[in-house]
A = this chain, B = another copy of it.
Amino acid sequence: MSTPRDLRDPGAYAGPLSGRRAQAARNDHAILSAARTVFLQNPHAPVAAVATAAGVGISALYRRYPGKEQLLQQLCADGLRTFIAVAEQHSDAQPDPFTALKEFVRGIVDADVHALTVKLAGTFAPTPELGELAARAGTLAQEIFNRAFEAGALRADADANDIPMIFEQLTAIRLRDEARTAALRHRYLDVLMDGLRSKQGAEALPGPPPSSEELGERWIVPDAIMDGWPSPSP
């Protein structure tokens, strides 16, 4: 029985797993990965685009997730978990706190994980678990910032809430070519972090840093981008 199987995705390591089961396992990953790429490019992309990008049919997707919303939640949760992992990894084991902070930011930016938690926000209902993960992520980032700050490596008017804003700005850099995107982000990461460094003769940054409420703004508003603007009335 020369297993002629698996017309799909022939390049991706057919492995020792045999046939259908193996395909299923690979599809698990392919779908998640495709969803990541597609939704990162366009948060409102149709589900069919994910299936196409994953090289599977729509039913393969719906077999795994009850609906689009659950897929997005999964994506977001995974992103948050990655964020936490990166943060923990850079939390210590680095003599210089400034370098630790910079490497941490680079890690998050390379993982392209911030967009997952923010650009997707508002396109699905957040679950309690998501909230907890986000809280933990925030705490870890805060700690890494604090260490650098207390070591005197940052300008006096730098603030922990500047970090998410830096993510935001670097995340805005997105070209078709993924490698080039990463390279450019590194470039401006250097510029930004250099601007945040402590230095003499620098005048104070204008205005207060973002407040936590301001940073959290994104999570509210399901989408309501079009309707009654300020807030019509219930």
Contacts and interface: CB of A to CB of B under 8 A. Distances in A.
Contact of A206 (B42, B186, B196, B209): B186
Interface stretch (A12-20, A73-81, A172-180): A172-180
A184 B207 contact: yes
Number of copies: 2
Contacts of A229: 52-53
A183 B188 CA distance: 21
B168 A172 contact: yes
A217 B209 CA distance: 33
A99 interface: no
A176 to B, nearest CB: 6
Interface residues of A, number: 48
Q: Is the interface of A mostly helix, strand, loop or mixed?
A: helix
A135 interface: no
Interface stretch (A2-10, A43-51, A64-72, A145-153): A43-51
Contacts of A42: 225-226
A183 B206 contact: yes
Contacts of A186: 206-207
Contact of A184 (B190, B210, B226): B210
A173 B184 contact: no
B165 A184 contact: yes
Find the residue from A48, A162, A170, A226 having the highest chain B CB count within 10 A.
A226
